[in-house]
Structure 1
Amino acid sequence: MRDYGTAWRILRPSSMTDQIFIKAQRIRSIETKGISKVDEGVRSEFIGIVNYCAMALVQLELQPADQPEMDADVALKMYLDKIYGSKALMEDKNHDYDEAWRKMRVSSFTDLILMKLHRTKQIEDNQGKTIISEGIDANYMDMINYAIFALIKLEFPNDEENA
């Protein structure tokens, strides 16, 4: 927020979804091509996915603002609430799935994020209505967690726990 303030408050959730898509698509492109022409690797893009997903969760709650100014402390508290809520979901799922993420590849997290983005776009195109599937918020939370798992795998590639 020091660089951009709360300018993101003007974005509709669907625009947030598209921003996340751009980041995930760039990660997949770099993974596929094995090279990046811009001097930023996939790590910064996964961090961006975490941030945009948390901001999108705030936008779902508050709705976009015509005037994006928001008290920095309020924005930070809401952002952290969304991150901690996602972490609690991760811990519950991690228990049920027996930490399967540790044996996954980073590229699989990229693909899962892209799949969640396609699901999210379909729900958005259907005005948020679902019959039996999770809502947009659950997809954003899952994307946060997939991106965090990818960041852990990138940071500790040779960790036996992550193999």
Structure 2
Amino acid sequence: MENTSQQFDSVITECRNLFSNKMKDYGAAWRVMRTSSVTDQIYIKINRIRTLQMSENKMVDEDEETEFVALVNYSIIALIQLYEGFSDVLDCDYDEVMNWYDDYAGKAKMLMEKKNHDYGEAWRSMRVSSITDMIYQKVLRTKQIENNEGQTLVSEGLDANYYDILNYAVFCLIKLKN
């Protein structure tokens, strides 16, 4: 599992660097988005990945890897919005946002390590397309929970789905790099 932990850190560092640079370019403009809007952004990204995987022709010069990085970052944004709330005022401090990023990425890693231990790194034997479908299913579940105003009877809540999406996207990035 040490290898997975190191690979996770490497992927998160790459995603964090992009997030940081976009923060410098755009600031925290995403802070105005409600959680459901972030979920829809995640839906757009995972739907695009599925389309890329199932189609031989693509019209925009982006690849799956770029979209999986976006899934990681949008999942962290969703967690920030879920726990910190959205804001109509863009007065977020860069360091505060990056601390939030690190906090939620760290919680995702802890969850990944626990689940990865219990599941015996089963993801390593899976196809990227299968993990993609699992992410797609998680997004659809998330949208349904949001439509139910966050209420569930027996299922985990929104945060669990965002953490799973984040971790599955990291697994895909690890697989694509190897």
Q: Normalising TM by the smaller chain, what interval?
A: over 0.9
Is residue 169 of structure 2 the alignment partner of residue 147 of structure 1?
yes
> Residue 111 of structure 1 corresponds to which residue in structure 2?
133
Give structure 1 regions of 4+ aligned residues with deviation exceeding 6 angstroms. Answer: none
Q: SS of the residue aligned with 1:2?
A: helix
Q: CA separation in 2, counterparts of 1:69 and 1:26?
A: 32
Is residue 73 of structure 2 the alignment partner of residue 51 of structure 1?
yes
Q: What is the CA-CA distance between 1:3 and the residue it aligns to? A: 1.6
> Residue 15 of structure 2 corresponds to which residue in structure 1?
none
Q: SS of the residue aligned with 2:87?
A: coil
Alignment of 1:5-154 (within 5 A): 5-154=27-176
Q: SS of the residue aligned with 1:127?
A: coil
Q: Deviations over 1:41-62 (max 9, x none)?
A: 0101000000000011000011
- One-letter amino acid of the structure 2 residue matched with residue 55 of structure 1: I
Mean CA deviation greater in 98-107 or 61-70:
61-70
Q: CA separation in 2, counterparts of 1:36 and 1:85?
A: 35
Is residue 5 of structure 2 the alignment partner of residue 4 of structure 1?
no
- One-letter amino acid of the structure 2 residue matched with residue 89 of structure 1: L
Q: Deviations over 1:8-43 (max 9, x none)?
A: 100000000000000000000000003322111010
- One-letter amino acid of the structure 2 residue matched with residue 28 of structure 1: R
Q: SS of the residue aligned with 1:58?
A: helix
Q: Deviations over 1:68-99 (max 9, x none)?
A: 23000000000110011001000000000000
Q: CA separation in 1, counterparts of 2:109 and 2:57?
A: 32
Q: SS of the residue aligned with 1:134?
A: coil
> Residue 4 of structure 2 corresponds to which residue in structure 1?
none
Q: CA separation in 2, counterparts of 1:21 and 1:101?
A: 21
| TM score, norm. by length of structure 1 | 0.94
Q: CA separation in 2, counterparts of 1:63 and 1:5?
A: 17
| TM score, norm. by length of structure 2 | 0.86
Tell whether the 8 Å contact from 1:86 to 1:144 is kept in structure 2 after alignment.
Answer: yes
Gaps of 5+ in 2: 1-22
CA RMSD of aligned residues (A): 0.7
